[in-house]
Structure 1
Amino acid sequence: MTAARSPLSPLSPAGVPRPGLRERKKTRTREAIRTATYALIREQGYEATTVEQIAGRAEVSPSTVLRYFPAKEDIVLTDAYDPVMAAELAARPAGEPWPVSLRHVLRKALDLGAGEESELTRLRTRLLAEVPAVRSRMLENMSATGRVLARAIADRTGLDPDGLEVRIVSMSLVGGLMEVSRYWAEHDHEESLAELVDRALDALEHGLPALGKGRGHAAPSVAS
Protein backbone atom coordinates (compact mmCIF):
# COMPACT_ATOMS: atom_id res chain seq x y z
CA MET A 1 0.00 0.00 0.00
CA THR A 2 1.00 3.56 -0.43
CA ALA A 3 -0.26 5.32 2.68
CA ALA A 4 2.56 6.07 5.08
CA ARG A 5 1.59 5.53 8.68
CA SER A 6 3.69 5.72 11.81
CA PRO A 7 4.29 2.83 14.24
CA LEU A 8 1.63 4.48 16.41
CA SER A 9 -0.98 3.83 13.71
CA PRO A 10 -4.46 2.84 14.96
CA LEU A 11 -4.12 -0.19 12.72
CA SER A 12 -1.57 -1.62 15.15
CA PRO A 13 -2.84 -4.72 17.00
CA ALA A 14 -4.23 -4.17 20.47
CA GLY A 15 -1.93 -5.01 23.34
CA VAL A 16 1.29 -3.87 21.65
CA PRO A 17 3.37 -1.93 24.23
CA ARG A 18 3.70 1.81 23.63
CA PRO A 19 7.11 2.60 22.10
CA GLY A 20 9.72 4.04 24.45
CA LEU A 21 10.98 7.62 24.42
CA ARG A 22 13.83 6.84 22.03
CA GLU A 23 11.53 5.19 19.52
CA ARG A 24 9.01 8.02 19.77
CA LYS A 25 11.81 10.51 19.08
CA LYS A 26 12.85 8.51 16.01
CA THR A 27 9.27 8.46 14.82
CA ARG A 28 8.98 12.24 15.20
CA THR A 29 12.20 12.74 13.25
CA ARG A 30 11.04 10.45 10.46
CA GLU A 31 7.71 12.24 10.25
CA ALA A 32 9.42 15.67 10.24
CA ILE A 33 11.55 14.55 7.30
CA ARG A 34 8.51 13.21 5.44
CA THR A 35 6.48 16.36 6.12
CA ALA A 36 9.31 18.55 4.86
CA THR A 37 9.74 16.41 1.76
CA TYR A 38 6.08 16.49 0.79
CA ALA A 39 5.87 20.26 1.36
CA LEU A 40 8.87 20.86 -0.90
CA ILE A 41 7.56 18.51 -3.58
CA ARG A 42 4.24 20.37 -3.63
CA GLU A 43 6.08 23.69 -3.94
CA GLN A 44 8.69 22.85 -6.56
CA GLY A 45 8.30 19.29 -7.77
CA TYR A 46 10.09 16.05 -7.02
CA GLU A 47 13.19 16.45 -9.19
CA ALA A 48 13.98 19.94 -7.90
CA THR A 49 13.79 18.83 -4.25
CA THR A 50 17.19 17.96 -2.78
CA VAL A 51 18.24 16.16 0.39
CA GLU A 52 19.88 19.39 1.58
CA GLN A 53 16.62 21.29 1.19
CA ILE A 54 14.72 18.55 3.00
CA ALA A 55 17.21 18.64 5.87
CA GLY A 56 16.93 22.41 6.16
CA ARG A 57 13.12 22.34 6.21
CA ALA A 58 13.07 19.49 8.76
CA GLU A 59 15.77 21.17 10.89
CA VAL A 60 18.08 18.16 10.81
CA SER A 61 21.39 17.51 9.06
CA PRO A 62 21.60 15.92 5.59
CA SER A 63 23.38 12.97 7.17
CA THR A 64 20.37 12.46 9.48
CA VAL A 65 18.04 12.40 6.48
CA LEU A 66 20.22 9.76 4.81
CA ARG A 67 20.50 7.76 8.03
CA TYR A 68 16.72 7.42 8.18
CA PHE A 69 16.20 7.18 4.41
CA PRO A 70 19.17 5.92 2.34
CA ALA A 71 17.70 7.41 -0.86
CA LYS A 72 15.33 10.32 -1.52
CA GLU A 73 12.86 7.88 -3.06
CA ASP A 74 12.64 6.01 0.23
CA ILE A 75 11.09 9.03 1.92
CA VAL A 76 7.92 8.64 -0.12
CA LEU A 77 7.97 4.84 -0.15
CA THR A 78 9.23 3.59 3.20
CA ASP A 79 6.74 3.15 6.04
CA ALA A 80 5.83 0.83 8.91
CA TYR A 81 2.94 -0.71 7.04
CA ASP A 82 4.30 -4.14 6.15
CA PRO A 83 4.77 -5.52 9.68
CA VAL A 84 1.43 -4.03 10.76
CA MET A 85 -0.37 -5.77 7.90
CA ALA A 86 1.39 -9.04 8.75
CA ALA A 87 0.35 -8.73 12.41
CA GLU A 88 -3.25 -8.02 11.42
CA LEU A 89 -3.30 -11.06 9.15
CA ALA A 90 -1.93 -13.21 11.96
CA ALA A 91 -4.71 -11.97 14.27
CA ARG A 92 -7.54 -13.13 11.99
CA PRO A 93 -9.53 -16.30 12.95
CA ALA A 94 -7.53 -19.47 12.42
CA GLY A 95 -10.08 -21.15 10.14
CA GLU A 96 -10.65 -18.15 7.90
CA PRO A 97 -9.46 -18.58 4.28
CA TRP A 98 -6.43 -16.38 3.72
CA PRO A 99 -8.00 -14.43 0.80
CA VAL A 100 -10.87 -13.43 3.13
CA SER A 101 -8.40 -12.37 5.80
CA LEU A 102 -6.41 -10.37 3.29
CA ARG A 103 -9.48 -8.51 2.04
CA HIS A 104 -10.42 -7.63 5.61
CA VAL A 105 -6.97 -6.22 6.41
CA LEU A 106 -6.72 -4.22 3.19
CA ARG A 107 -10.21 -2.77 3.62
CA LYS A 108 -9.41 -1.78 7.18
CA ALA A 109 -6.18 -0.15 6.05
CA LEU A 110 -8.00 1.77 3.31
CA ASP A 111 -10.67 2.94 5.73
CA LEU A 112 -8.08 4.23 8.19
CA GLY A 113 -6.10 6.01 5.48
CA ALA A 114 -9.11 7.55 3.76
CA GLY A 115 -9.41 10.62 5.99
CA GLU A 116 -6.64 13.04 6.81
CA GLU A 117 -4.10 11.29 4.55
CA SER A 118 -6.17 11.14 1.36
CA GLU A 119 -4.37 14.06 -0.30
CA LEU A 120 -1.00 12.64 0.72
CA THR A 121 -1.93 9.23 -0.67
CA ARG A 122 -2.82 10.83 -4.00
CA LEU A 123 0.51 12.65 -4.10
CA ARG A 124 2.44 9.46 -3.46
CA THR A 125 0.59 7.54 -6.15
CA ARG A 126 1.20 10.37 -8.62
CA LEU A 127 4.92 10.16 -7.87
CA LEU A 128 4.83 6.41 -8.38
CA ALA A 129 3.14 6.82 -11.75
CA GLU A 130 5.14 9.81 -12.99
CA VAL A 131 8.68 9.55 -11.56
CA PRO A 132 10.81 6.68 -12.93
CA ALA A 133 13.23 6.81 -9.98
CA VAL A 134 10.38 6.33 -7.49
CA ARG A 135 8.94 3.47 -9.53
CA SER A 136 12.33 1.80 -9.82
CA ARG A 137 12.93 2.05 -6.07
CA MET A 138 9.47 0.65 -5.44
CA LEU A 139 10.32 -2.39 -7.54
CA GLU A 140 13.48 -2.90 -5.46
CA ASN A 141 11.48 -2.72 -2.23
CA MET A 142 8.79 -5.14 -3.40
CA SER A 143 10.85 -8.21 -2.52
CA ALA A 144 10.95 -7.25 1.17
CA THR A 145 7.19 -6.66 1.27
CA GLY A 146 6.67 -9.95 -0.55
CA ARG A 147 8.67 -11.82 2.09
CA VAL A 148 6.59 -10.29 4.89
CA LEU A 149 3.36 -11.36 3.19
CA ALA A 150 4.79 -14.78 2.34
CA ARG A 151 5.45 -15.45 6.02
CA ALA A 152 1.94 -14.31 6.94
CA ILE A 153 0.35 -16.47 4.23
CA ALA A 154 2.51 -19.44 5.23
CA ASP A 155 1.49 -19.09 8.86
CA ARG A 156 -2.19 -19.24 7.89
CA THR A 157 -1.86 -22.08 5.39
CA GLY A 158 0.85 -24.24 6.95
CA LEU A 159 2.90 -23.98 3.76
CA ASP A 160 6.60 -23.22 3.44
CA PRO A 161 7.10 -19.41 3.24
CA ASP A 162 9.97 -20.04 0.84
CA GLY A 163 7.95 -22.44 -1.29
CA LEU A 164 7.46 -21.49 -4.92
CA GLU A 165 3.66 -21.27 -4.72
CA VAL A 166 3.67 -19.00 -1.66
CA ARG A 167 6.34 -16.77 -3.18
CA ILE A 168 4.38 -16.45 -6.42
CA VAL A 169 1.15 -15.57 -4.63
CA SER A 170 2.77 -13.04 -2.30
CA MET A 171 4.76 -11.29 -5.04
CA SER A 172 1.75 -11.31 -7.35
CA LEU A 173 -0.20 -9.58 -4.61
CA VAL A 174 2.46 -6.93 -4.02
CA GLY A 175 2.84 -6.30 -7.74
CA GLY A 176 -0.93 -6.11 -8.13
CA LEU A 177 -1.25 -3.49 -5.41
CA MET A 178 1.53 -1.46 -7.00
CA GLU A 179 -0.35 -1.52 -10.30
CA VAL A 180 -3.55 -0.48 -8.50
CA SER A 181 -1.73 2.62 -7.24
CA ARG A 182 -0.41 3.46 -10.70
CA TYR A 183 -3.77 2.86 -12.36
CA TRP A 184 -5.55 5.02 -9.79
CA ALA A 185 -3.13 7.91 -10.36
CA GLU A 186 -3.15 7.55 -14.16
CA HIS A 187 -6.95 7.88 -14.09
CA ASP A 188 -6.86 11.05 -11.95
CA HIS A 189 -7.99 9.24 -8.79
CA GLU A 190 -11.56 9.29 -10.08
CA GLU A 191 -12.44 5.70 -9.13
CA SER A 192 -12.78 4.29 -5.64
CA LEU A 193 -9.44 2.95 -4.41
CA ALA A 194 -11.26 0.32 -2.34
CA GLU A 195 -13.11 -0.92 -5.42
CA LEU A 196 -9.87 -1.07 -7.42
CA VAL A 197 -8.23 -3.14 -4.68
CA ASP A 198 -11.23 -5.48 -4.69
CA ARG A 199 -10.89 -5.86 -8.47
CA ALA A 200 -7.19 -6.65 -8.09
CA LEU A 201 -7.90 -9.29 -5.46
CA ASP A 202 -10.64 -10.78 -7.67
CA ALA A 203 -8.19 -11.05 -10.56
CA LEU A 204 -5.54 -12.68 -8.38
CA GLU A 205 -8.01 -15.09 -6.78
CA HIS A 206 -10.13 -16.02 -9.81
CA GLY A 207 -8.13 -15.09 -12.88
CA LEU A 208 -9.07 -12.85 -15.81
CA PRO A 209 -12.70 -12.32 -16.82
CA ALA A 210 -13.82 -14.53 -19.70
CA LEU A 211 -13.57 -12.89 -23.13
CA GLY A 212 -16.54 -10.61 -23.72
CA LYS A 213 -17.87 -11.06 -20.19
CA GLY A 214 -18.12 -8.64 -17.31
CA ARG A 215 -16.04 -8.74 -14.16
CA GLY A 216 -18.53 -11.09 -12.53
CA HIS A 217 -17.72 -13.89 -15.02
CA ALA A 218 -14.18 -14.83 -14.13
CA ALA A 219 -12.20 -17.49 -15.90
CA PRO A 220 -10.70 -20.28 -13.79
CA SER A 221 -7.70 -19.10 -11.81
CA VAL A 222 -4.26 -20.45 -12.63
CA ALA A 223 -3.97 -21.11 -8.88
CA SER A 224 -7.02 -23.39 -8.85
Structure 2
Amino acid sequence: MSGLRERKKTETRRRIQEHALRLFQAKGYEATTVEEIAAAAGVSHMTFFRYFPSKPAVVENDDYDPMIAELIRSRPAAEEPLTAIRRALVGALRAMPAAEQATILSRARLILGEPALRARQIESQRTTREIFAAAIADRDDPPPAFHRQVLAAAALSTLAVAIDEWAGGNGADDLADVVDRAFAALRWPART
Protein backbone atom coordinates (compact mmCIF):
# COMPACT_ATOMS: atom_id res chain seq x y z
CA MET A 1 0.00 0.00 0.00
CA SER A 2 2.79 2.46 0.83
CA GLY A 3 4.27 1.89 -2.66
CA LEU A 4 1.02 2.99 -4.27
CA ARG A 5 0.79 5.99 -1.93
CA GLU A 6 4.35 7.06 -2.78
CA ARG A 7 3.70 6.66 -6.49
CA LYS A 8 0.56 8.82 -6.21
CA LYS A 9 2.51 11.48 -4.31
CA THR A 10 5.22 11.45 -6.97
CA GLU A 11 2.60 11.74 -9.73
CA THR A 12 0.86 14.63 -7.97
CA ARG A 13 4.16 16.42 -7.38
CA ARG A 14 5.15 15.98 -11.02
CA ARG A 15 1.71 17.10 -12.27
CA ILE A 16 1.88 20.28 -10.17
CA GLN A 17 5.36 21.04 -11.44
CA GLU A 18 4.44 20.36 -15.10
CA HIS A 19 1.41 22.66 -14.93
CA ALA A 20 3.42 25.34 -13.17
CA LEU A 21 6.12 25.29 -15.84
CA ARG A 22 3.52 25.37 -18.60
CA LEU A 23 1.75 28.35 -17.00
CA PHE A 24 5.03 30.18 -16.38
CA GLN A 25 5.89 29.82 -20.07
CA ALA A 26 2.42 30.93 -21.21
CA LYS A 27 1.76 33.78 -18.76
CA GLY A 28 5.13 34.58 -17.25
CA TYR A 29 6.48 33.65 -13.84
CA GLU A 30 5.35 36.77 -11.97
CA ALA A 31 1.87 36.79 -13.52
CA THR A 32 1.12 33.19 -12.53
CA THR A 33 -0.40 32.57 -9.10
CA VAL A 34 -0.22 29.51 -6.89
CA GLU A 35 -4.02 29.28 -7.12
CA GLU A 36 -3.82 29.07 -10.92
CA ILE A 37 -1.17 26.37 -10.74
CA ALA A 38 -3.22 24.37 -8.24
CA ALA A 39 -6.39 24.66 -10.33
CA ALA A 40 -4.58 23.58 -13.50
CA ALA A 41 -3.12 20.58 -11.67
CA GLY A 42 -6.51 19.65 -10.20
CA VAL A 43 -5.49 20.17 -6.56
CA SER A 44 -6.27 22.72 -3.88
CA HIS A 45 -3.82 25.51 -3.10
CA MET A 46 -3.26 23.84 0.29
CA THR A 47 -2.24 20.65 -1.51
CA PHE A 48 0.18 22.73 -3.58
CA PHE A 49 1.83 23.89 -0.34
CA ARG A 50 2.08 20.30 0.96
CA TYR A 51 4.30 19.53 -2.04
CA PHE A 52 6.08 22.88 -2.51
CA PRO A 53 6.63 25.41 0.28
CA SER A 54 6.52 28.36 -2.14
CA LYS A 55 6.06 29.33 -5.77
CA PRO A 56 9.84 29.46 -6.43
CA ALA A 57 10.18 25.96 -4.97
CA VAL A 58 8.05 24.50 -7.76
CA VAL A 59 10.86 25.54 -10.14
CA GLU A 60 13.83 24.80 -7.89
CA ASN A 61 12.92 21.52 -6.24
CA ASP A 62 13.66 18.17 -7.80
CA ASP A 63 14.57 14.68 -6.66
CA TYR A 64 17.95 14.51 -8.39
CA ASP A 65 20.39 15.24 -5.55
CA PRO A 66 19.90 12.03 -3.55
CA MET A 67 19.91 9.96 -6.75
CA ILE A 68 23.14 11.57 -8.01
CA ALA A 69 24.75 11.18 -4.57
CA GLU A 70 23.95 7.47 -4.65
CA LEU A 71 25.39 7.17 -8.16
CA ILE A 72 28.57 8.92 -6.99
CA ARG A 73 28.86 6.49 -4.08
CA SER A 74 28.40 3.54 -6.45
CA ARG A 75 31.37 4.57 -8.61
CA PRO A 76 34.62 2.61 -8.05
CA ALA A 77 36.13 3.77 -4.75
CA ALA A 78 39.57 4.36 -6.30
CA GLU A 79 38.19 6.78 -8.91
CA GLU A 80 39.19 10.43 -8.43
CA PRO A 81 36.32 12.43 -6.87
CA LEU A 82 35.71 14.72 -9.86
CA THR A 83 35.81 11.76 -12.22
CA ALA A 84 33.26 9.94 -10.05
CA ILE A 85 30.96 12.97 -10.05
CA ARG A 86 31.40 13.46 -13.80
CA ARG A 87 30.64 9.85 -14.65
CA ALA A 88 27.68 9.71 -12.25
CA LEU A 89 26.14 12.85 -13.79
CA VAL A 90 26.80 11.87 -17.40
CA GLY A 91 25.49 8.33 -16.80
CA ALA A 92 22.32 9.63 -15.16
CA LEU A 93 21.70 12.08 -18.00
CA ARG A 94 22.21 9.41 -20.65
CA ALA A 95 19.59 7.23 -18.91
CA MET A 96 17.12 10.09 -18.43
CA PRO A 97 13.93 9.99 -20.54
CA ALA A 98 13.48 12.79 -23.08
CA ALA A 99 10.42 14.13 -21.20
CA GLU A 100 12.52 14.58 -18.08
CA GLN A 101 15.19 16.45 -20.03
CA ALA A 102 12.45 18.67 -21.47
CA THR A 103 11.45 19.56 -17.90
CA ILE A 104 15.07 20.39 -17.05
CA LEU A 105 15.23 22.62 -20.13
CA SER A 106 12.02 24.46 -19.11
CA ARG A 107 13.30 24.94 -15.58
CA ALA A 108 16.72 26.13 -16.78
CA ARG A 109 15.18 28.67 -19.16
CA LEU A 110 12.91 29.94 -16.43
CA ILE A 111 15.76 30.30 -13.92
CA LEU A 112 17.97 32.05 -16.49
CA GLY A 113 15.15 34.48 -17.32
CA GLU A 114 14.06 35.33 -13.77
CA PRO A 115 16.58 37.27 -11.63
CA ALA A 116 14.80 36.28 -8.40
CA LEU A 117 15.09 32.59 -9.28
CA ARG A 118 18.75 32.95 -10.28
CA ALA A 119 19.50 34.51 -6.90
CA ARG A 120 17.70 31.72 -5.05
CA GLN A 121 19.68 29.13 -7.00
CA ILE A 122 22.81 30.04 -5.04
CA GLU A 123 21.23 28.85 -1.79
CA SER A 124 19.89 25.74 -3.46
CA GLN A 125 23.37 24.90 -4.75
CA ARG A 126 24.78 25.10 -1.24
CA THR A 127 22.59 22.16 -0.22
CA THR A 128 23.57 20.20 -3.32
CA ARG A 129 27.25 20.95 -2.66
CA GLU A 130 26.93 19.45 0.83
CA ILE A 131 25.27 16.33 -0.59
CA PHE A 132 27.97 15.87 -3.27
CA ALA A 133 30.77 16.51 -0.75
CA ALA A 134 29.33 13.84 1.56
CA ALA A 135 29.07 11.41 -1.37
CA ILE A 136 32.79 11.69 -2.17
CA ALA A 137 33.77 11.21 1.47
CA ASP A 138 33.49 7.43 1.03
CA ARG A 139 36.20 7.22 -1.65
CA ASP A 140 39.53 5.46 -1.16
CA ASP A 141 41.85 8.04 0.40
CA PRO A 142 39.10 10.70 0.55
CA PRO A 143 40.15 14.33 0.42
CA PRO A 144 39.85 16.39 3.62
CA ALA A 145 36.48 18.05 4.28
CA PHE A 146 37.50 21.45 2.88
CA HIS A 147 38.79 19.86 -0.32
CA ARG A 148 35.58 17.85 -0.69
CA GLN A 149 33.61 21.09 -0.50
CA VAL A 150 35.85 22.71 -3.13
CA LEU A 151 35.57 19.69 -5.45
CA ALA A 152 31.78 19.55 -5.04
CA ALA A 153 31.53 23.31 -5.70
CA ALA A 154 33.70 22.98 -8.82
CA ALA A 155 31.52 20.13 -10.06
CA LEU A 156 28.32 22.12 -9.48
CA SER A 157 29.71 25.21 -11.20
CA THR A 158 30.73 23.02 -14.13
CA LEU A 159 27.27 21.48 -14.27
CA ALA A 160 25.63 24.93 -14.06
CA VAL A 161 27.73 26.29 -16.94
CA ALA A 162 26.91 23.20 -19.02
CA ILE A 163 23.18 23.53 -18.37
CA ASP A 164 23.30 27.27 -19.18
CA GLU A 165 25.09 26.50 -22.46
CA TRP A 166 22.64 23.72 -23.29
CA ALA A 167 19.59 25.85 -22.47
CA GLY A 168 21.05 28.76 -24.45
CA GLY A 169 21.17 26.44 -27.45
CA ASN A 170 17.52 25.51 -26.87
CA GLY A 171 18.48 21.97 -25.85
CA ALA A 172 19.64 21.14 -29.38
CA ASP A 173 22.79 19.34 -28.21
CA ASP A 174 22.75 16.22 -26.08
CA LEU A 175 22.84 17.37 -22.43
CA ALA A 176 25.05 14.47 -21.33
CA ASP A 177 27.59 15.38 -24.04
CA VAL A 178 27.59 19.05 -23.01
CA VAL A 179 28.14 18.10 -19.35
CA ASP A 180 30.91 15.69 -20.32
CA ARG A 181 32.64 18.40 -22.40
CA ALA A 182 32.32 20.86 -19.52
CA PHE A 183 34.07 18.46 -17.13
CA ALA A 184 36.74 17.82 -19.76
CA ALA A 185 37.42 21.58 -19.80
CA LEU A 186 38.49 21.35 -16.14
CA ARG A 187 41.61 19.55 -17.36
CA TRP A 188 42.56 22.18 -19.94
CA PRO A 189 44.81 21.82 -21.75
CA ALA A 190 43.75 18.26 -22.42
CA ARG A 191 46.09 15.64 -21.00
CA THR A 192 46.66 12.34 -22.69
Q: Give the TM interval when normalised to the shorter protein.
A: 0.7 to 0.9
Q: Which SS does the other structure have where 1:20 is aligned?
A: helix
Write the distance in 2 (CA, Å) between the matches of 1:110 and 1:94: 21
Write the distance in 2 (CA, Å) between the matches of 1:67 and 1:136: 24
Q: How far off is 1:160 after superposition?
A: 6.3
After superposition, residues 28-107 of structure 1 pair within 5 angstroms as 28-107=11-90
TM-score, L = length of structure 1: 0.75
Closer, same or farther: CA 27–202 of 1 in aligned 2, 3 Å: same
Write the distance in 2 (CA, Å) between the matches of 1:128 and 1:217: 34
TM-score, L = length of structure 2: 0.86
Q: Which residue does the alignment assign to 2:153?
A: 171
Pairing 1:183–2:165 present: yes
Matched letter for residue 107 of structure 1: V
Q: Which residue does the alignment assign to 1:12?
A: none
Q: Which residue does the alignment assign to 1:221?
A: none
Which structure's residues are more often helix, by fraction? 2
Aligned residues of 1:85 and 1:105 also touching (Cα < 8 A): yes
After superposition, residues 1-224 of structure 1 pair within 5 angstroms as 20-113=3-96, 115-159=98-142, 163-204=145-186, 206=187, 208-209=188-189, 216=190
Alpha-carbon RMSD across the aligned residues, in angstroms, is 2.4
Aligned residues of 2:82 and 2:151 also touching (Cα < 8 A): no
What percent of counterpart residues are identical? 39
Matched letter for residue 179 of structure 1: V
Write the distance in 2 (CA, Å) between the matches of 1:197 and 1:33: 28
Closer, same or farther: CA 90–19 of 1 in aligned 2, 3 Å: farther
Moved over 4 A (4+): none
Matched letter for residue 175 of structure 1: S
Closer, same or farther: CA 165–100 of 1 in aligned 2, 3 Å: closer
> What 5-or-longer segments of structure 2 have no aligned partner?
none
